[in-house]
Structure formats: C-alpha cells, structure tokens
Amino acid sequence: MSVSLPSKHRIAVVGLGYVGLPVACAFARSGFDVVGFDIKTGRLTDLERGVDPTGSVTPDELKAAKLHFTGSAPEMSDCNIFIVAVPTPVDQAKRPDLTPFVKAAETVGSVMKRGAIVVFESTVYPGATEDVALPALEKASGLRCGSDFEVGYSPERINPGDTERSFSDIVKIVSASSDEACDVLCDLYGSVVTAGIHRAPSVKVAEAAKVIENTQRDLNIALMNELAVLFHTMGIDTRDVLAGSSTKWNFLPFQPGLVGGHCIGVDPYYLTHKANEVGMTPQVILAGRGTNEAMPAFIAGKIIQACVKLGRKMPPRIAVLGITYKANVPDTRNSKVVDLIRELEEFGAQVVIHDPLADPSEVQEEYGLSLSTLTQAKGADVVVLAVPHHAFFEGGDAWSFISSLKGDGRCLVADIPARLERNAVPDDLVLWRL
C-alpha cells in the first residue's frame, strides 16, 4: 500500500541555523505556509525581532518571509512536509555525533501524521537516513515508512558568507524512499530553486554525493598544505609556486590554510566512520585529515621560530586577528584558529584575540577564550592575520592597521591566508606567510 500524498503543502523547517533559515525563508517568500522550529529560545527571540545573527538572510528577506517561529513541536502538527536541517558534528574522538539528527527525527515523529514526507538536509554518511533517522521516526510516530509516510534526503549546499550563490542559485540534489515522494519533493524544491534539480536514484546515493563534495575539497587543501610544509623547508614561497601553476588551464586553484568549520573539517569523518563499519580503511581520506589537523602546530612552530630569529622577547605577546572558521561569517564552530591559539599558548605566548564578527559569549562558552578590543590588542610582538575579514581591510591600507597593533621594535606579521601586499611591508614589520 502506497502513501497518499496531499497536493497542498504546509512546511515545517526543523533547525533555523545557516541552512534551515534560508530554506524556510525561500519557501515562505514563495507563498508556502511555513513553520520554523528551533530548540534555542535565544535564536527564536532574535528571529522574532527580525534579526539573524548568522547573517545568512538579510532583515528585509526575513521580514518578507512572514514565517511563524516556534519552539513548541505541537505547532508543527498541521504540517505534511518536514525539512530537517540540524547540525551533524563529530565528538572529541572525531566520531559522528548524530544526537541532534536523532532528536530532530524524534521530534518530527511525535507530531507528524499519515501522508507526511520527512526530508533531511543534514550531512551524514550513506545509510544514516534509513538506518538511524527512519527507525526514530517510526518509533516516535507509531507509523510505518512506505505505507504511512515517506522520507527523503536533499543535502544542503549553502556556503555561508557567499554573496553570489544563495539557496535558490545552487543545484539541489533530491532523493526519496519512493518515486512518488521524489516527484513531490522535486516539484517542491523546483518551485524555489532556480538553478535546477538533480534527481538521485536513491537516498544513499544522495547522502554519498554530499559527503564526498567536502571530502574532495579537504583532500585538495591537504595536498596544498603538504606542499606548503615542503616549500617552507626548501625556502620557496608557496603562493609564488601556485601562481605559476595556476596559469595552466586545468590546474585547480586550491590554497593552503586552516581547515575548520562544520563542513570540510567534519564531513570526511562521517565517511571514514562508515568505511570502518564496512571493513575498509580509508587511507587517503585519513591521510588528508591528518595533514590538515597538523597545520595549526606547524604554523605555531614557524611563528615562534621567526620570533627567536628576530630577537623578540620570549614568550611573545601575540595578537590574533579573527577566530571564526572562515572570513566574513560569525560562525566559530570547529575553528582551527582555536587550535592555533592553543599551540601558541603551549609555547608560553600571551595571546590576545580580536574578531569583530564572533560572538564573545559564544567564544567564551565554547572555548573558554576571551575576545579583546583593538586597544587591548596593541603592543604586540607578533600580529597573526588568521581570518581575512573585510573589516581588517577597510580603508584600503591593511598595513597601517596592522602597524597600529605592534609594540616596540620590529614586529612579526604572520599572514596565514596570504592576503597582505607583500611589496608594501613597512620597514618595522617582518612578513611570514603560509
């Protein structure tokens, strides 16, 4: 017996972060009746006031969406489409932590009715939707997939901080537990995604397609990081090498750097977890992860060595600019700048951190670190440009800004993203870049 799928949809979006909120707004602006659900009361309060601290939607977009926000699951009971967009992190041992994923499924299961379609957007390993989320849905609802409801998987592809590609501008992969449900979801997403729909042949295929996107990026960056370590040993500037190689049409323009965040630095562990479950050791993926995880220690060591060569007092006072995981977003989840700070502190360095975008309370709660004002960051022996926020380049003279933070004598500037103009270094500053 197949599920009777209604033609009129009321949508619930579970999880209103970087992924869920743009999705909810897109559907609401297109005329759908949308309920936005989140367990964080502070988040709901901000959204009710028309403020999105993540910056993933503008105040005008939020106002135009006319969403109903709630932290009460029963308020989703009239919905027949549930889109789950909750975090899927890893634990301290780098194992998948599916707790939010399962709890979201249980919450949806407690309120959904026959005819519902539950589609997951969270990044997981192949099989997680059907093997983990589906049993939780059935247990909480007392319903059965295939006869009472259907599940789908449509992985998120939102790139936080990207002003050129929004949710609607990125091709959407869609899959479901039945052809009929997939038809419904393709039509549904197709009504708001202008870039097009890619219909995957199964839920597992869609899950795999997503998780390897970021695994591929992780491995490409790992190669660049390994090359950076090699070229530093040889006294060659890595960016000069890449500038030359990039003149060939098929050379991929990846750059070395700190690989953190909730995607590239996490997703490969979901894939390796599943590989281990089926008896395979994913050597290439793990090698790439190991290389990227080692970069904070490498950079910290180079900074301290350069300080010694400059004759700076030891331990040095170091001003770190930026603590978010990438430029121009306030998200600090799995930031490898934090790992760099820990490594510098292991050398005894006094580290002060300035980031105009990060939430000081979140940084304190998550990492036990305090953010400083620019005034408090002055008098540094070393300035580390860790995250190239636009705010650090306002006015067009980044070197003057960095010079204002230095103390007496020559100051080391560690430019991790290589964004500072190399030919304009002031005489009292010494540049090191990855």
- pLDDT, one tens digit per residue, over 8-56 is 799 999 999 999 999 999 999 989 999 999 999 999 999 999 989 888 8
**Are domains 10-201 and 211-292 of this chain identical in fold?**
no
Concatenated DSSP letters of 371-385? B--HHHH-SBSEEEE
pLDDT value at residue 1: 39
Tokens 């500053």 correspond to what residue? 429
Determine phi and psi for 233, rounding to 5 degrees: -65, -35
When pLDDT is cut at 50, 70 and 90, the band that residue 272 belongs to is: very high
Segment 75-89 mean pLDDT:
96
Query: Catalytic annotation on 263?
Result: yes
pLDDT value at residue 347: 95
pLDDT tops 70 at residue 61: yes
Read off the pLDDT of residues 325-353 as tens digits, 9 standing for 90 and up.
999 999 999 999 999 999 999 999 999 99
Read off the pLDDT of residues 162-191 as tens digits, 9 standing for 90 and up.
778 888 999 999 999 999 999 999 999 999
pLDDT tops 50 at residue 217: yes
pLDDT value at residue 47: 92
Segments making up each domain of the chain, as ranges = 10-201, 211-292, 294-433
pLDDT value at residue 7: 58
Determine phi and psi for 140, rounding to 5 degrees: -70, -30
Q: What is the pTM of this model?
A: 0.93
Instruction: Give the Cα separation of 286 and 269 in Å (integer).
Output: 8
Of 25, 186, 263, 411, which is the active-site residue? 263
Instruction: Give the Cα separation of 187 and 190 in Å (integer).
Output: 5
User: Which residues 6+ apart lie within 8 Å of 240 measured at CB?
Assistant: none
Length of the chain: 434
Domain 211-292, architecture per CATH = Orthogonal Bundle (1.10)
Concatenated DSSP letters of 52-104? -TT-SS-HHHHHHH--EEES-GGGGTT-SEEEE-----B-TTS-B--HHHHHH
Domain 10-201 is found in CATH 3.40.50.720: yes
CA distances from 227 to 230, 255, 292, 415 (A): 5, 10, 12, 17
CATH class of 294-433: alpha beta
pLDDT value at residue 159: 83
Segment 295-309 mean pLDDT:
96
